[in-house]
């Protein structure tokens, strides 16, 4: 009997099972009986969506007509399993859920890594975890590292030289038009691999970094902040936005607050394991206290102040959607987001006379330079400067 090779392939944004065989009328008739099977001109083969059902149907219809070679499929599925295992648990669960439903294209090229590069990916993630990097950082570095591994195919990543990496970074910046911020993230991931995993000291000194775009924070006026909050009918949503603005919280910090983090005796909020794994204490607004008490009486949160589904806290994406709904009718610039509440908090403090060093501590910034950005957009000093046009017009009218 003639062989039929079952191979994974990517077709029209789907992960598919390809049937590859020499021209044979009997085999072709059997393959066409597999449910959902179609012909691909691109891959010159018959294919079906990759699933256990499709595989079992293939065995059923071909068992007496051909010899089935599923070794390429086995290698692919084993690699896929190992690559997925390098994700932190929260992301791993999301990928599993999405794979069952939609089988996204985005992860598939990484499931075809060579054995050598797969081993390096596993070592890379293990080193990040041993150094106790946060799950979000592990995910970011992992995904950036995989972009290089996918291009290398069979070439081991540990064989790359400084010149190879310079050419690679030129390629992603010029050809792929990678943004400056993503390029920095990619370089950080590669730097970690070559210096921390392989132990190549000062390996990246010769590779220049692209200059970052210095974007100013997007700030909402005090009037618009209040107008947006007054239009939120849902008590939970209103409390979330009020709390975030009143204490200058990041969205991740706001949703992951616990009930025990609110200390009304000392009028303080404790932020645990914030960015950079730093704890800090911020002021609890006296104006917010009655709202928090009403919220607690109505919702009776047990552990998380803002509870989500199951035993988890409210999701960051849900919080961002709450912000969009509250402020979408106020004509804010499209770049404004939940994080704009934090920028607005810092700017308004500065305009109201708060010392910049105190604002730095409240925001949890390591470097005062990060906080000094708000002086560039504050109306406290710049707002007092008169445009020469105003003087000319005033003199003309006089």
Clarify whether 365 is annotated catalytic. Answer: yes
At residue 263, φ and ψ (nearest 5 deg) are: -115, 95
Task: Scan for tokens 């691109």, then name that residue.
Answer: 42
Separation of alpha carbons 235 and 240, rounded Å: 9
DSSP single-letter state for residue 313: B
Angle between helix axes 162-174 and 135-152 (nearest 10 degrees) is 100
Give the active site residue among 103, 191, 275, 373: 275
Give the active site residue among 133, 295, 327, 374: 374
**Cα dihedral sign, 131-107-98-321:** positive
Q: Do residues 345 and 245 touch, judged by C-beta distance below 8 A?
A: yes
Separation of alpha carbons 370 and 356, rounded Å: 11
Clarify whether 342 is annotated catalytic. Answer: yes
Q: Do residues 269 and 321 touch, judged by C-beta distance below 8 A?
A: no
* β 38-40/67-69 pair status: unpaired
Give the active site residue among 7, 142, 343, 365: 365
Q: Do residues 338 and 306 touch, judged by C-beta distance below 8 A?
A: no
Separation of alpha carbons 228 and 245, rounded Å: 12
Give the active site residue among 103, 127, 218, 339: 339
Angle (nearest 5°) at CA 149 between 143 and 155: 170
Give the active site residue among 342, 343, 345, 348: 342
- Give the DSSP per-residue string, 95-163: HHHHHHHT--GGGGGGGG--HHHHHHHHHHHHHHHHTT--HHHHHHHHHHHHHHHHHHTTS-GGG--HH
**Residue among 260, 357, 255, 374 at smallest CA distance from 307:** 255
Give the active site residue among 80, 250, 343, 348: 250
Clarify whether 275 is annotated catalytic. Answer: yes
Residue 256, helix vs strand vs coil: coil
Clarify whether 313 is annotated catalytic. Answer: no
Task: Scan for tokens 């979000």, then name that residue.
Answer: 136
Q: Do residues 168 and 178 touch, judged by C-beta distance below 8 A?
A: no
Separation of alpha carbons 255 and 251, rounded Å: 6
The CB density around residue 177, as the number of other CB atoms within 10 Å, is 8
| Active site (catalytic) residues | 250, 275, 339, 342, 365, 374
């Amino acid at each position: 009997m003639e062989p039929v090779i079952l191979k994974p392939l990517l077709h029209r944004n789907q992960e598919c099972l390809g049937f590859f065989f020499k021209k044979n009328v009997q085999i072709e008739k059997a393959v066409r009986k597999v449910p959902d099977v179609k012909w691909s001109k691109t891959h010159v083969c018959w294919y079906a969506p990759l699933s256990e059902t499709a595989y079992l149907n293939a065995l059923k219809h071909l068992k007496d007509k051909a010899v089935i070679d599923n070794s390429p499929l086995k290698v692919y599925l084993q690699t896929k399993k190992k690559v997925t295992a390098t994700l932190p648990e929260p992301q791993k669960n999301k990928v599993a859920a999405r794979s069952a439903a939609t089988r996204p294209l985005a992860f598939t090229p990484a499931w075809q890594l060579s054995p050598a590069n797969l081993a390096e990916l596993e070592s890379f993630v293990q080193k990040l975890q041993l150094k106790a990097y946060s799950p979000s950082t592990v995910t970011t570095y992992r995904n950036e590292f995989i972009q290089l591994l996918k291009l290398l195919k069979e070439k081991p990543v540990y064989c790359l030289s400084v010149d190879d990496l310079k050419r690679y970074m030129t390629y992603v910046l010029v050809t792929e038009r990678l943004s400056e911020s993503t390029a920095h993230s990619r370089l950080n991931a590669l730097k970690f691999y070559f210096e921390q995993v392989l132990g190549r000291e000062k390996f990246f000194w010769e590779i220049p970094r692209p200059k970052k775009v210095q974007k100013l924070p997007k700030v909402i006026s005090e009037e618009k902040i209040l107008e947006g909050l007054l239009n939120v009918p849902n008590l939970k949503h209103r409390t979330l936005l009020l709390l975030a603005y009143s204490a200058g919280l990041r969205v991740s910090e706001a949703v992951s607050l616990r009930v025990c983090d609110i200390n009304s005796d000392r009028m303080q909020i404790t932020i645990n394991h914030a960015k950079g794994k730093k704890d800090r204490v911020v002021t609890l607004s006296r104006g917010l206290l009655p709202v928090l008490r009403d919220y607690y009486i109505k919702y009776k949160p047990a552990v998380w102040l803002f509870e989500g589904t199951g035993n988890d806290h409210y999701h960051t994406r849900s919080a961002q959607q709450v912000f969009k709904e509250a402020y979408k009718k106020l004509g804010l610039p499209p770049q404004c987001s939940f994080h704009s509440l934090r920028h607005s908090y810092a700017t308004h403090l500065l305009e109201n006379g708060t010392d910049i060093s105190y604002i730095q501590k409240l925001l949890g910034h390591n470097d005062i330079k990060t906080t000094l950005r708000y002086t560039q957009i504050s109306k406290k000093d710049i707002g007092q400067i008169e445009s020469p046009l105003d003087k000319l017009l005033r003199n003309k009218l006089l």
